[in-house]
Structure 1
Amino acid sequence: MKFTQNTTDLSGNLLYKPVKLSAKDSRDVNKVTKLMLDVVKQHRRLWRKEINDWQRARQIRYSLEFPQNYLLQEVYQDIMLDGQLTGITQNRTFRTTNKDYIFVNAEGKKDDTCTAFIKDKSWFENLIQYAHETVYFGTGVVWFKDLLKNEIQSVELLDRAHIIPEKGLFVPDVTSDKGIAYKDFEPFLIEVQMYDAVGLLEKAAPYTILKRHSWGSWDEFEELFGVPIRIAKVASQSETVKNEVAGWLEEMGSAAYGVFPLGTEVEIKENSKGDAFQVFYQKLQALRAELSMLILHQTMTTENGASKAQGNVHENTLSELIYADEKKMLSILNDKVVPAMRFFGYKIPEGYKIAIAQTKDTKEQIKIDQVLLQGGYVLKQSYIEEVYGSEIEAMPSQKMDAGSEKTTEEPKKG
């Protein structure tokens, strides 16, 4: 993939001065940075979102003439306050971002020199997180904002509320349809999108909002029926005495005792409907299961499993989902990030690409290696040290007698 440098003029309300990018400015990140300085920062509205807010946001988001993204992103930010939704989305994200990403050559062999370009680099860790979060929030645009000596120092995710993917625009004013065509400024600005442009949180919103309603209703039920009702009967008909006794009942709070005038009878009414809470509890459980199915495509890795066999089926389902995420991530990295790195000056040979290092389960691998050794195969010292983490000073030479499983060891010469 090659980038061509065309002269681009921008003027009007977007910029105070026209900015021109020509071939001689191909590595001048400061000129591209000026494009971002005129962005109007929007104050986030923090009131609780309801179903009607979600419906209105969707209607505007899917408008053919004038799509807007900021209302739906406000709904997304609000529902992400839900603890379970935060947990299951991070669960899925970590299973992809926590992998070791490496550079391999055309033969598929790891290249340590190129791998050092991305290994333990904060900009790369942030980039793959931004890319994966598009599963939930929809399309994102990443800005390579800080370059030093042909090396990327940091990246930033542009506010999704300002992004209109269908138009390819970054709009400084979220209520306007005028903005910057961000695709004209690759590779400084790259679009990342794992699946669709809207994200899974569109489907998660009604479940999360209804779940919040159930929590509120359960809280009201607790206030009404969770605490026994205390009734005081007094012999006096005086309003003053009645008000005084009522005040004492209120001051009791959760205390197990109280001091009342002689002749006062205190009666405690227990709630006879002990299982009424099941209405709220079962609804919450159903909504939790729906959210887990939506984000993780199964429930048993986050909820209690019924059996080991069923748990294995659910784990395999999740593994297929993670494998799909990894393929999408590698496509983004190799189609957009690697060409951008070459553009910025990284010496990455043609045919090299980013891959995920294959980690081995030592308990399972030792069974396989044992079969190989019994079959007469010789394992390399570097392989044994890498897989099992053992430092080996010398390797014995092995000879297999014909028709025998016995192995004789001879010291390795040299």
Structure 2
Amino acid sequence: MAWYNDIFNFSKPQPQKANIRKTIDFEQQLQRVRQDATRFNIALQSAESPMYPNRFLLMQTYQQIVLDGQVQSAMLQRKSKILCKKFMVYGPDGECDEAKTELFNQKWFYDFQNLALDSIFWGFSCVQFGAIVNDKYSSVELIPRIYVVPEFSLVRTNTATVTEGKHFDEAPYNNWCIGVGEKRDLGLMMYLAPYVIWKKNAMAAWAEFAEVFGSPIRVGKTDVRDEMTRKNMENMLRNMGVASWAVLDLNDNIELMQASRTDAYAVFDKMVERCNSEISKIILGQTGTTDEKAYSGSANVHENVADMIAKQDTLKMQFVIENQLVPMMIRNGFDLSGCTFKYDDSESLPLSEQAKIDASFMPYVKFDHEYLEHKYGIELQDEMGVEEENETETENETESQLENIAKRLRAIYS
């Protein structure tokens, strides 16, 4: 197969019976439901059942949790450290093979990494690959998580059963499908759920506080008993804006009791701020890379923690690719036997720091022009041109000095 791949673009159709998504009788939409602590506890107990684990209710909770802005920001930050990494494929001889590397430098592989990293948060990702066309997979898609039972390596026919379906780790499905994540892992969303629920409750209460006390109530008082006249006043107050209003008799009174503190809003603000910090700690292990108030010294420590977690995620992806993806590709005919996939973990300095280091060596080491031009984007002249230019500058400086001396002499003896 190796010589065939070298001469022609490799293509292979996906057998109809190998698409495990077709196991699902009828795909239903996962309805969005308002979440609270009670719903979450029930969903968690259902998912943790040792005999009949069912993640349907838990996925309902998770799809609401992931809408939170702080959660999205932290997830994107953690995933981007892996998705933006360079990688190489080394051949059996230990040398970097650019042709093999190009097989992975495609959109399908980026999509696979994205879905595989989602397993950190969701607990498990069952990924279905499409047909092979011109040396790359035509599609990479996620099997809806409500139909996947990771504990049994099963894609079930419907959400009412946990035993009927097909096993994605058995042939022919395992040649076109990969399950990423630990079977009993429920993901980081499990730890995020309470804080996101409390945060939403705090923000809802804050919005209600703003609605009641943010705009002054409008009160219209009248002793008119004519129904039409009172309705005219009601319509006038109603159309004046969104603030509360009331039509009262002359002797009636409305009293709004509120805290005497001027910073009553801080109760809600601090609650939201604390929930955001806990969310960042769960996903990123720190708050310094998401908190605008972080100081320079502590931010460096937090950045080191973020780098440590990124190395952990890199190692996880390395195992998934080496132990699951590459063997599946070899079974499908890709010439990757004896090859090794590795992420590039080399650290690159900022350009300004690199320039300082290079400048310190220039008196002692001769740099290649191509390196300097490529690294710093500057055009360099050859040494002969530089010498001629220096000679010209020296001559001009000498003439200028002579003219200055002549002017001074004329000024003295004039």
TM bracket, shorter-chain basis: 0.7 to 0.9
**How far apart, CA to CA, are the structure 2 residues paired with 1:330 and 1:65?**
32
2:281 is paired with a residue of what secondary structure?
A: helix
Listed one character per residue, the Cα deviations across residues 376-396 of structure 1 (whole Å, up to 9, x for unaligned) are 4x6667755664456789899
Q: Which residue among 83, 96, 112 is the counterpart of 1:110? A: 96
Q: Which amino acid aligns with 1:136?
A: F
Aligned pair in 2 of structure 1 residues 385, 134: CA closer, same or farther (>3 Å)?
farther
- Give the match for residue 170 of structure 1: 155
Measured against aligned partners, the alpha-carbon deviations of 1:23-47 in whole angstroms (never above 9, x if no partner) come to: xxxx762144354324131221122
Q: Is the 8 A contact 1:122 1:154 kept in 2?
A: no
Q: Matched residues in 2 for 1:29 and 1:231: separation?
A: 72
Which residue does 1:280 correspond to in 2? 268
- Return the letter of the residue paired with 1:140: S
Say if 2:103 and 2:135, in contact at 8 Å, map to a contact too. no
Residue aligning to 1:205:
193
Whether 2:154 is the aligned partner of 1:141: answer: no
In 1, are the aligned partners of 2:280 and 2:290 still within 8 Å (CA)? yes
Aligned residue identity for 1:159: P
Which structure is higher in strand share? 1
Which structure has the larger Rg over C-alpha atoms?
2
Are the equivalent residues in 1 in contact too, given 2:32–2:63 (CA < 8 A)? no
Shift of 1:346: 2.3
State the one-letter code of the partner of 1:305. Answer: K
Deviation at 1:335, TM superposition (A): 1.7
Give structure 1 stretches of 5+ with no counterpart: 1-26, 397-414
Q: CA deviation at 1:136?
A: 0.5
Is 1:356 aligned to 2:344, yes or no? yes
- Find the residue that maps to 1:330 and give its secondary structure: helix
Q: Distance in 2 between matches of 1:379 and 1:113?
A: 31
- Does residue 96 (structure 1) correspond to residue 82 (structure 2)? The answer is yes
Instruction: Judge conservation of contact 2:31–2:60 (CA < 8 Å) in 1.
Output: yes
| In structure 1, distance between residues paired with 2:329 and 2:134 | 13
Code of the aligned partner of 1:85: V
Name the residue aligned to 1:330.
318
- The answer on 1:231 being equivalent to 2:216 is no
**What does the per-residue CA deviation read over 1:247-302, in whole Å, with 9 as the maximum and x for residues that have no partner?**
433332269xxxx9xx9xx9998976532211111111111111111111111211
Q: Which residue of 1 aligns with 2:387?
A: none
TM-score (norm 2): 0.77
Q: Secondary structure of the equivalent of 1:345?
A: coil
Q: Cα gap change, 1:370/1:226 in structure 2, threshold over 3 Å: closer, same or farther?
A: same
Could you give the per-residue CA deviations for residues 129-171 of structure 1, whole angstroms, max 9, x where no partner exists? 0011111011111112221255422211111121212211111
Range moving further from structure 2, 274-283 or 143-152: 143-152
State the number of aligned residues: 360
Greater shift in the superposed pair: 30-39 or 130-139: 30-39
Contact 2:285–2:306 (CA under 8 A) maintained in structure 1: yes
What are the Cα deviations for residues 358-403 of structure 1, in whole angstroms up to 9, with x where unaligned? 3623333334444555554x6667755664456789899xxxxxxx
Provide closer, same or farther for how the CA distance between residues 43 and 195 of structure 1 changes in structure 2, counting only shifts above 3 A.
closer
Are the aligned partners of 2:19 and 2:128 in contact in 1 as well (CA < 8 Å)? no
- Amino acid corresponding to residue 161 of structure 1 in structure 2: I
| Structure 2: gaps of 5 or more residues | 1-11, 385-414
CA positional deviation for 1:92: 1.2
- Aligned with residue 218 of structure 1, among 202, 206, 213: 206
| Greater mean deviation of Cα atoms: 339-348 or 349-358 | 349-358
Q: 1:366 aligns with which of 355, 361, 373?
A: 355
Q: Deviation digits for residues 212-244 of structure 1, max 9, x if unmatched?
A: 11111111111221111233344x453545554
**1:173 to 1:229, Cα distance in 2 relative to 1, 3 A:** same
| Counterpart among 10, 18, 42 of residue 33 in structure 1 | 18
With over 3 angstroms needed to count, the CA separation of the structure-2 counterparts of 1:39 and 1:254, relative to structure 1, is: closer
Partners of 2:346 and 2:139 lie apart in 1 by: 27
Q: Give the corresponding residue for 1:182.
A: 168
Corresponding residue to 2:117 among 103, 122, 132:
132
- Alpha-carbon separation, structure 1, partners of 2:272 and 2:174: 45
Query: CA 1:273–1:370 in 2, change beyond 3 Å: closer, same or farther?
Result: closer
User: Is this contact kept in 2: 1:194–1:328, CA < 8 A?
Assistant: no
| Percent identity (aligned) | 26
Contact 2:289 2:303 in 1 (8 A): yes
Q: Which one of the candidate residues 237, 242, 265 is aligned to 1:249?
A: 237
CA apart distance, 1:353 = 2.1
